[in-house]
Amino acid sequence: MIPRRLEPLLDAGAAPRQLASLFAAAGKELYLVGGSVRDALLGRAAAETDLDFATDARPDDIRKIVGGWAADLYLAGETFGTVGAIKHGHLYEITTFRSEVYRGESRKPTVTFTEDIVTDLSRRDFTVNAMAIRVPAASETPEMIDPHGGLADLAAAVLRCPLDPHISFGDDPLRMLRLFRFVSQLGFHPDEAAVSAVSEMAPRLAVVSAERIRVELDKLVTGDQVGAGLRGLLASGLAAEFLPELPALAVAQDPVHRHKDVLAHTIAVVEKTSPDLVLRLAALFHDIGKPATRRIEEGGVSFHHHEVVGARMARERMTALRYAGQVIDEVCRLVFLHMRPHTFKMGWTDSAVRRYVRDAGPLLDTLNELVRCDVTTRSAVRANVIARRIDELEMRIADLRTREELDALRPPIDGHVVMTHLGLPPGPLVGEAMRLLTEHRIEHGPFTEAEALALLDHWWEGRVRQRS
């Protein structure tokens, strides 16, 4: 019997039925598999969205079968047995029955094609992803294939490997990270045997490419249960293999000079933030500079300039994980600036507000959310004081916006005018002049072109006097 939630995917006119008719005509079987089945059963996926299929047809045969039906083919995964068929804007990935195994220290899995769906399902990561539906042609009845108790594990919200987890994780060590990614995304709890295997096999993750690790980490940190996922990474020891800065936050407590648990605080901050990738990564990295800057002083423990050290460490780690340059720059800017608003307790001038807006740039709202979420104190009084401080800062920004063009802090003239007025060629002097004018705009607010030219003249006269 097919669960009612899957019926929309199996309507006579739906893509799975159309594909099944094509494969049946070629004497081949077609199964709806993996995450698409799991998500449909959980109500997380709509009908006719991107779907995954498995078949006994080999890649060359798949291309021939779907070539006339699909609007286009996506063949990037053909070497690994996957052909993508694009129809009405949807991608349908069709993969030959297979297993993937990492050999030795190789970073690339060896793909072996198999002959039946049961063997294919047994080599998948978790039982909730090891279910399939045989999609029949025409009016035949679909068949549920669940050889490893995936439906029961789905109902129990448990993540369990179809085989001994040592075999599953040995086949693909990235599955150890996927275990906690699904904890974060689905809110499921991992099977004890799986966690135990991760603890034993964590160093094996070294054979997996940084790019594949990064993709899983991104999905984990943007999940609804991100705290549980991160705690699983830490408890199993897996975090130390690719993100050692995270367990390093568990700084040993001095019996006299105690401070808050930086690791617990970091996870709490991540949990409070919106599920935006840049924001979540910034929350994850915002205090990683604290262990290196921890100092015991007369007044207690300090972490002076941990945001500066942390931004540098975040850049190094994210570069190692092959993040895109823009993502690295944005995360590191947030880490570097996350302490800036706390100086507002000393009072901010208009120029300080302008500088804050300029430095935050398009990340201003994201930075303010990070600062708010960084407050995890148990003291309601202290939390309210900090919240009011950020409220006041945002009101100051809004007020300045009504009086001047705050989001475009540029002087009234550009470099071409500077060169024409002073008779300068392109070069470092033009840049120095523009920095002078920009600083004046930040410190004193808007000014006219005539005032800008007068500033230039005064600056240039000073340089001439220095040379003479």
Cβ atoms within 10 Å, residue 127: 25
Average pLDDT of the segment spanning 198-224: 96
Residues forming beta bridges with residue 134, ordered by sequence position = 31, 143
Q: How far apart are CA 445 and CA 128, in angstroms?
A: 60
Residue 260 confidence class, pLDDT cut points 50, 70, 90: low
Task: Look at residue 306 in the predicted model and tell me its pLDDT.
Answer: 93
Kindly give, in sequence order, each residue whose CB lies less than 8 Å from that of residue 459, ignoring residues fewer than 6 positions away. Answer: 433, 436
Residue 105 confidence class, pLDDT cut points 50, 70, 90: low
Residue 440 confidence class, pLDDT cut points 50, 70, 90: confident
Torsion of CA 341, 347, 351, 352, to 10 degrees: -20
Residue 46 confidence class, pLDDT cut points 50, 70, 90: low
Tokens linked to 259: 């401070």
Comparing 225-229, 361-365, 402-406, which segment has the lowest mean pLDDT?
Answer: 402-406
- Where along the chain do its domains lie? 4-156, 157-243, 249-409, 415-467
Tokens linked to 58: 């080999």
**What is each CA distance from 222 to 10, 283, 313, in whole angstroms?**
31, 11, 21
Whether residue 266 contacts residue 303, with contact meaning beta carbons closer than 8 Å, is answered with no
pLDDT tens-place string over residues 151-197: 999 999 999 999 999 999 998 999 999 999 999 999 999 999 999 99
Residue 341 confidence class, pLDDT cut points 50, 70, 90: confident
Tokens linked to 392: 């006041």
Q: What are phi and psi of 252, to 5 degrees?
A: -60, 135
pLDDT at 402 over 70: yes
3-class state of residue 61 by DSSP: helix
Cβ atoms within 10 Å, residue 286: 29
pLDDT tens-place string over residues 216-251: 999 999 999 999 999 999 999 999 999 999 999 986
Whether residue 180 contacts residue 78, with contact meaning beta carbons closer than 8 Å, is answered with no
Tokens linked to 75: 């063949």
- The domain covering 4-156 belongs, at the CATH homologous superfamily level, to Beta Polymerase, domain 2 (3.30.460.10)
Residue 218, CA atoms < 13 Å, CB-side half-sphere: 15
Whether residue 143 contacts residue 117, with contact meaning beta carbons closer than 8 Å, is answered with no
Whether residue 198 contacts residue 217, with contact meaning beta carbons closer than 8 Å, is answered with no
Q: Which helix (H) or strand (E) holds 357?
A: helix 350-360
Q: Which helix (H) or strand (E) holds 53?
A: strand 51-55
Whole-number average pLDDT of the chain: 88
Percent of the chain with pLDDT over 70: 91
Whether residue 171 contacts residue 55, with contact meaning beta carbons closer than 8 Å, is answered with no
pLDDT at 22 over 80: yes
Higher pLDDT, 336 or 4: 336
pLDDT tens-place string over residues 282-315: 999 999 999 888 877 766 677 788 999 999 999 9
What is the identity of the amino acid at 89? Answer: G
Percent of the chain with pLDDT over 90: 55
pLDDT tens-place string over residues 61-100: 999 999 999 999 999 888 889 999 999 888 999 999 987 6
Domains 4-156 and 157-243 share a fold: no
Closest-CA residue to 279 (of 234, 218, 236) = 218
Q: How far apart are CA 324 and CA 268, in angstroms?
A: 26
Task: Look at residue 252 in the predicted model and tell me its pLDDT.
Answer: 47
DSSP string, 185-241: HH--EE-HHHHHHHHHHGGGGGGS-HHHHHHHHHHHHTSTTHHHHHHHHHHHT-HHH
Task: Look at residue 43 in the predicted model and tell me its pLDDT.
Answer: 81
Kindly give, in sequence order, each residue whose CB lies less than 8 Å from that of residue 48, ignoring residues fewer than 6 positions away. Answer: 8, 9, 14, 15, 88, 90
Kindly give, in sequence order, each residue whose CB lies less than 8 Å from that of residue 433, ignoring residues fewer than 6 positions away. Answer: 415, 418, 422, 424, 456, 459
Kindly give, in sequence order, each residue whose CB lies less than 8 Å from that of residue 292, ignoring residues fewer than 6 positions away. Answer: 306, 309, 313
Task: Look at residue 254 in the predicted model and tell me its pLDDT.
Answer: 44
pLDDT at 257 over 60: no
Q: What is the CATH number of domain 157-243?
A: 1.10.110.30
Give all strands (DSSP E) within 210-329, no chain letters. 295-297, 300-302
- Span between the terminal Cα atoms of the chain, in Å: 94
Higher pLDDT, 351 or 311: 311
Task: Look at residue 255 in the predicted model and tell me its pLDDT.
Answer: 42
Q: How far apart are CA 290 and CA 46, in angstroms?
A: 44
